Amino acid sequence: MMLDCMLDDDRMGWNGEPMAKSLPKIFSKLPSLTYGAHRLIDPDVYLDISVHIRRLCHPPSTIVVDYFHVHISCILIFLSDTSVVAPFITMSIFRRRGSSQQQQEQDQPELKSESKVNELKAALGPLSGRSLLYCTDACLRRYLEARNWNVEKAKKMLEETLAWRSTYKPEEIRWHEVAVEGETGKLFRANFRDRFGRTVLILKPGLQNTTSMDNQIRHLVYLMENAMLNLPEGQEEMAWLIDFTGWSFTTNVPIRTAKDTINILQDHYPQRLAVAFLYTPPRIFEAFWKIVKFFIDPKTSQKVKFVYPKNKESVELMRSYFDVDNLPTEFGGKATMKYDHEDFSRLMAQDDVKAAKFWGFDQKTASATTGIAAGAAVAPEPV
Using the Cα atoms of residue 10, residue 16, residue 21 and residue 27 in order, give the sign of their dihedral.
negative
**Domain CATH code at residue 129:** 1.10.8
Could you tell me what percent of the chain has a pLDDT over 70? Answer: 65
Q: What is the mean pLDDT of residues 285-295?
A: 86
Nearest to 65 by CA among 2, 16, 7, 6: 7
Question: Does residue 131 lie within any of the structural domains?
Answer: yes
Task: State whether 87 and 122 are in the same domain.
Answer: no
Task: State whether 164 and 176 are in the same domain.
Answer: no
Q: How confident is the model at residue 102 (pLDDT cuts 50, 70, 90)?
A: low
Task: State whether 180 and 150 are in the same domain.
Answer: no
Question: Does residue 382 lie within any of the structural domains?
Answer: no
What is the pLDDT at residue 279? 96
pLDDT tens by residue, 140-162: 999 999 999 999 999 999 999 99
Strand partners, 73: 4, 90
Question: Does residue 149 lie within any of the structural domains?
Answer: yes
What is the pLDDT at residue 18? 54
Q: How confident is the model at residue 88 (pLDDT cuts 50, 70, 90)?
A: very low
CB atoms near residue 41 (< 10 Å): 20
Nearest to 266 by CA among 126, 160, 152: 160
Higher per-residue pLDDT: 142 or 80: 142
Task: State whether 233 and 250 are in the same domain.
Answer: yes
Rounded to two decimals, the pTM is 0.68
pLDDT averaged over the chain?
A: 76
pLDDT tens by residue, 108-138: 567 778 999 999 999 999 999 999 999 999 9
What is the pLDDT at residue 96? 40
Question: Does residue 375 lie within any of the structural domains?
Answer: no
Q: How confident is the model at residue 255 (pLDDT cuts 50, 70, 90)?
A: confident
235 contacts: CB under 8 Å, gap ≥ 6: 196, 197, 198, 199
* pLDDT above 50: residue 6: no
Residue 117's domain comprises 106-168
Task: State whether 70 and 134 are in the same domain.
Answer: no
The domain boundary, picked from 168, 201, 216, lies at 168
Question: Does residue 377 lie within any of the structural domains?
Answer: no
Length of the chain: 383
Task: State whether 209 and 331 are in the same domain.
Answer: yes
Distance, CA of 352 to CA of 380 (rounded, Å): 14
Q: How confident is the model at residue 292 (pLDDT cuts 50, 70, 90)?
A: confident
What is the pLDDT at residue 273? 97
Q: What's the domain count of the chain?
A: 3
**Domain CATH code at residue 176:** 3.40.525.10
* pLDDT above 60: residue 73: no
